[in-house]
Structure 1
Amino acid sequence: MHVVISGSSGLIGGALAASLLDDGHRVTRLVRREPRSRDDGSAEAGWDPQAGLLDPTVLEGADAVVGLAGAGVGDRRWTQTYKKQIRDSRVLGTTALATAITACEKPPPVFVSGSAVGYYGETGTAEVDESGAPGRDFLAGVCQEWESAAQGAGAVGTRVVNTRFGIVVSPRGGAMGRLLPLARAGLGGRLGSGDQYWSHLSLTDAVRALRHIIATDGITGPVNMTSPHPATNRDVTAAVGRALHRPTVFAVPGFALRLVLGEFADGILMSQRVVPGALSASGFTFEHPTIDAALAAAVGREGVG
């Protein structure tokens, strides 16, 4: 296959590119700087997602386009300027990809566009699959715009899939990339009440699911990228302690998180019990269906502890 990826320098995009290359597939990475040659066998092509500039010939004849670019939601405190960057980096970049796909003489058969379980907002203790209603907070609004921007690619017959990612369990980045070093230092503990559900997915299963989606023609629309067994923050904290053989006795009150993180803290304290209805219905099987299995893989294979 030939797969074009935006966001290939990120946690998920980088792992997907490496997996495809290991199996002998062609990968083109979209980059905002001047393209250069790479030692890993992948190619680079330039684009300007903010300006909506992407040469359609880059996508011409590709077997899949995977859009995973976006400013990190937890990289800094949310000012109005940074919230605009979070939104624009996703919506404008996805619009650029969808527009380029429609301009191809031979459009890619599938466009896998990123999204997040933030789409659902607060769900409490109720299990939510892809039929769940959208939330009303900032991230829910971003996800709705993000997914809508991808739909234009469907005008030329391209299959459009919106992958709603939960927390990806890996020490290399994301929320776990920050929490695991603290836990390893003996500073782990629950956040807020600890009763909020965190929907998660191992990095291995994230890549496996993306490749399954690319290869499965019947999958379209929203797909929850989460394990079948969401866990509470309290349970995640305990599992981290078991995986690293460290105590997890500390606790950070919700008000303290809000003082330090501002509005972003609401996403950490929000409960989202999201299950992978579409993946399970398509026959996908999880290598790491539980938080303990996901953490064991992260610790054993990715060098934590």
Structure 2
Amino acid sequence: MNILLTGGTGFIGQRLMSHLRPHHQVTVLSRTPNKVYQRLGHDIEALPSLEQLENLDRFDAVINLAGEPIADKRWTQTQKERICQSRWQITQQLVEKLKAGQQPPKVLISGSAVGFYGRQGDALVDEDSRPHKEFSHEVCAQWEQLAQAAESEQTRVCRIRLGVVLGAEGGALKKMLPGYRIGMGGPIGSGKQYMSWIHIEDVVNLILFLLEHDACSGPFNATAPEPMTNEHFSRTLAQVLSKPHFARIPAWAMKLLFGEMADLLLTGQRVMPVRLQQAGFHFRYPTLDKALKETLNTPQSR
């Protein structure tokens, strides 16, 4: 396949590239081509702008993973706008270029997140669950709506609603590990809020699965079939590291440090990957214990 990839230098994108490059021709869209060459190698084609293309007819597939990290900084109005536009603008541009052609890509796989559902308490959530209207939902809903506009007889659209991605190279786990390694890890707030997580290898595998299965379209929850409370997740991580588990970060401290963004960590969703499993996808790391042990035994984590 000839694939156009956005977000190729990110946490998921780099791992995905290691699986794509032996079998497919990949073009990475990036405003900083030098970053592409430094992180992915000089054999990769880097495209600095979509303006260079009249349409996307040369590509068989588009994978859209670009976007400002949603939980890295306090949600000022400026940061909220950056989070939104980093997702919405590139997605709209891709769809416009895709629709401008005569033989568009056969599939668009576009990122989203379980934040689409907003806070859900302990209710089991599937792809048809009614969302709670809040900022994370607004970001994801518009993101998905823009992507879905590419759907046609020639192009199917898959929207992947990612949970917390576990990997040694980056993401939430990399930020959590220093505290846990010195024995100061613990749950956040009440610890009763659910965390819907997924191992990064399963993220890569489900993207490859959706690329290859022509019957797949629509939203897919990209989460392992074992969502955990924050308390259980925290305790399991401490056990895998053979560290004590007694510290706790109070909700008031999180709100003081992060403002509105703290709600992402203090509330949650108990998400199940119903449509992926119905489509026949099998998780390599379905349990948290197995996922953490593999992740923490990698050279990067050490």
Same fold by TM-score, threshold 0.5 exceeded?
Answer: yes
Is residue 199–residue 227 contact of structure 1 (8 Å, CA) maintained in 2? yes
Equivalences for 1:184-223 in 2 at 5 Å? Answer: 184-223=181-220
Are residues 1:175 and 2:177 paired? no
Is residue 67–residue 112 contact of structure 1 (8 Å, CA) maintained in 2? yes
Of the three residues 230, 233, 242, the one matched with 1:245 is 242
Structure 2 unaligned segments of length 5 or more: list them. none
Q: 1:156: how far off?
A: 6.0
Are residues 1:41 and 2:43 paired? yes
Q: 1:40: how far off?
A: 5.6
Structure 1 unaligned segments of length 5 or more: list them. none
Q: 1:181: how far off?
A: 2.2
Counterpart residue number, 1:29: 28
Is residue 194–residue 228 contact of structure 2 (8 Å, CA) maintained in 1? yes
Q: 1:4: how far off?
A: 1.1
Report the TM-score when normalising by structure 2: 0.94
Are residues 1:289 and 2:291 paired? no
Q: 1:40 to 1:277 in 2, by over 3 A?
A: farther
Is residue 56–residue 101 contact of structure 1 (8 Å, CA) maintained in 2? no
Percent sequence identity over matched residues? 37
Q: 1:295: how far off?
A: 0.7
- Measured in 2, the distance between the counterparts of 1:132 and 1:254 equals 27
- Measured in 1, the distance between the counterparts of 2:52 and 2:156 equals 20
Letter in 1 for 2:32: R
Q: 1:301: how far off?
A: 2.5
Query: Which structure 1 residue ranges, 4+ long, deviate > 3 Å from structure 2?
Result: 34-38
Which SS does the other structure have where 2:57 is aligned?
A: coil
Of the three residues 253, 263, 275, the one matched with 2:260 is 263
Q: 1:202: how far off?
A: 0.1
- Measured in 2, the distance between the counterparts of 1:187 and 1:5 equals 39
Report the TM-score when normalising by structure 1: 0.93
Counterpart residue number, 1:7: 7
Is residue 120–residue 135 contact of structure 1 (8 Å, CA) maintained in 2? yes
Q: 1:302: how far off?
A: 4.8
Q: Deviations over 1:181-209 (max 9, x none)?
A: 22112221001111110000000101001
Q: How many residues align?
A: 299
- Measured in 2, the distance between the counterparts of 1:248 and 1:217 equals 46
Are residues 1:112 and 2:109 paired? yes
Quote the RMSD (CA, aligned, Å): 1.6
Counterpart residue number, 2:60: 63
- Measured in 1, the distance between the counterparts of 2:232 and 2:12 equals 24
